[in-house]
């Protein structure tokens, strides 16, 4: 690894550009695929992440948004009869979000669409795993004095 500050700055700028570009491609892909099913991108993200019963807080964490934003999305999905709120089995104060049969079927269609021509399709599963590991490592070490918590 080079110690030249200019070379390091250039390398970091190029890497940031690639990460941002990939994130934008993925977001565009989700938005386009969601639209074919009559969903917004946040609704598609919620359905993708709802892999089993979970609380609103758990879903919000998976969606990387505030619980209030997840609530807005879930309210819309509930009106479409795709999700229902049920009493939590161990916490009387909480509700669990559960896909309805209609929601489960739509989620399966969504997952198939998201996997088709994904921006990551050019990578093997092993390469995707390596990319995920490297990004997770980078995210686990924020610069000193900073945190990854949302402001």
Which pLDDT tens digits describe the chain residue by residue (151 residues)? Answer: 557 889 989 989 999 999 999 999 999 999 999 999 999 999 999 999 999 999 999 999 999 999 899 999 999 999 999 999 999 999 888 899 999 999 999 999 999 999 988 999 889 999 999 999 999 998 888 676 655 554 4
Per-domain boundaries in the chain? 12-118
Are the C-beta atoms of 66 and 52 separated by less than 8 Å?
Answer: no
CATH class, domain 12-118, is: mainly alpha
CA 52 to each of CA 21, 55, 74, 147: distance values in angstroms, whole numbers, following the listed order: 31, 10, 14, 29
Q: What does pTM read for this prediction?
A: 0.81
């Amino acid at each position: 690894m080079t110690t030249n500050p200019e070379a390091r700055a250039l390398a970091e700028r190029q890497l940031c550009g690639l990460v941002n570009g990939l994130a934008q491609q993925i977001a565009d892909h989700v938005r386009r695929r969601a639209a074919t099913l009559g969903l917004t991108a946040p609704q598609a993200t919620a359905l993708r992440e709802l892999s089993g019963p979970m609380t609103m807080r758990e879903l919000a964490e998976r969606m990387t948004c505030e619980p209030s934003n997840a609530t807005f999305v879930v309210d819309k999905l509930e009106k479409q009869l795709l999700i229902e709120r049920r009493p939590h089995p161990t916490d009387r104060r909480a509700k669990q979000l559960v896909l309805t049969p209609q929601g489960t079927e739509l989620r399966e269609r969504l997952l198939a669409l998201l996997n088709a021509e994904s921006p990551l399709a050019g990578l093997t599963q092993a390469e995707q795993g390596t990319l995920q590991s490297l990004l997770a490592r980078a995210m686990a070490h924020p610069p000193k004095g900073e945190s990854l918590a949302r402001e």
